[in-house]
Amino acid sequence: MKLGDRFLLGARSGALVAVIPLLLSLLGCSAVYPELSPPLRTPPAGFHLDPPPPSDLFYFRFGGADIPTKTRDGRHWDSVGGAAPDPFAKLIVNGKDLVVTSVESDTIRPTWPEQDRANYRIHPSDALTVEVWDSNPLNNHPICREKVPSFQDFVKGDQPYMEIECDNGGRVRLIVEQAHSRLGLGLYYELRMQQAFVTRVLAESPASRAGLRGGEEILTAQGQPVKTMEEGKLQSLINANASIGVKLQVRSESGATRDVTLRDGAIYPVAGEGIPLE
């Protein structure tokens, strides 16, 4: 290859490299920004929560079950891998699965230790059903299916758990309590090239009660413009002032601006928001 040809090939390659980022931007490829949030804390014992838990939000988990040693017709539950079933449980609300546990193998006393523990919305008029199934490779077999009676009466009492009797002699225990809480702001945001945007807001949190919504731009914090802040400054201002009040100016997607003040308060995470509860 002649020297001139090599020069032309190198020039073309350099031009192509320079054009690739432009093409990617035109195709709509966007950078990924880390999502930030103020810390969440567990309220200390005896802490006064304001506001109190919503009346339709409850902390729920299966407390365990007692399963008969054999099926109704006297057979062992499993023909392969052990005589005991491989049970999992469901809470069904208005005909739809709300909670489904993982399978606990070869036991008639399951406790489902790996189940998700969360707050769930349950309204007074909802129809609740509990089911326990034996997991099998081809077809799952029903063990128990019972309606949950007097749910609202139970939650108003002081019993530690609700026990559901199955018509085959088994029992299922439900732990139902007022919604568990955390303390914080409930605000999530990301920084984009000297801008900050709210990415999401926990439904039952100070940020939600202040009217913040995903997609809004944070213009100032404590009176300081975000666009002139050094790296880490916005996060520092929000975290340092959360307990006494973070003053933000935000702009909605429609272009309207307003001032909001956020202060640490009660958060009642709802299932699906990704906040672990004990």
Structural domains in the chain, sorted by start: 35-51+183-267 (2.30.42.10), 57-178 (2.60.40.150)
Q: In the numeric block, which tokens belong to residue 262?
A: 């956020």
Separation between Cα atoms, residue 227 and residue 221, nearest integer Å:
11
Whose CA is closest to 78, among 130, 139, 144, 132?
Answer: 139
Give the burial string for 155-171 (b: 16+ CB within 10 Å, else e).
beeeeeebebebeeebb
Q: What is the dihedral of CA 173, 179, 180, 186, to 10 degrees?
A: 140
pLDDT of residue 160: 76
CA 144 to chain centre: 29
pLDDT of residue 79: 62
Separation between Cα atoms, residue 268 and residue 272, nearest integer Å:
12
How far lies 18's CA from each of 12, 21, 257, in Å? 10, 7, 39
pLDDT of residue 38: 95
pLDDT of residue 125: 85
pLDDT of residue 16: 47
pLDDT of residue 7: 44
Q: Is the peptide bond before 51 cis (omega within 30 degrees of 0)?
A: yes
Separation between Cα atoms, residue 205 and residue 184, nearest integer Å:
8
Q: Where are the alpha helices (DSSP H) in the chain?
A: 3-26, 151-156, 206-209, 233-241
Can you give the pLDDT of all 278 residues of the chain as single tens digits?
554 555 444 545 555 445 555 554 555 555 678 899 999 999 999 899 999 999 999 999 999 999 999 888 888 887 655 689 999 999 999 999 999 999 999 999 999 999 988 999 998 889 999 999 999 888 899 999 999 987 777 777 777 788 999 999 999 999 988 899 999 999 999 998 889 999 999 999 999 999 999 999 999 999 999 999 999 999 999 999 999 999 999 999 999 999 999 999 999 999 999 998 98
Sort 22 into a burial class: Cβ within 10 Å, 0-12 / 13-18 / 19+: exposed
How far lies 86's CA from each of 104, 149, 217, in Å? 6, 26, 50
Separation between Cα atoms, residue 144 and residue 65, nearest integer Å:
10
pLDDT of residue 172: 96
pLDDT of residue 30: 56
pLDDT of residue 32: 73
Residues in Cβ contact with 16 at an 8 Å cutoff, skipping those fewer than 6 apart? none
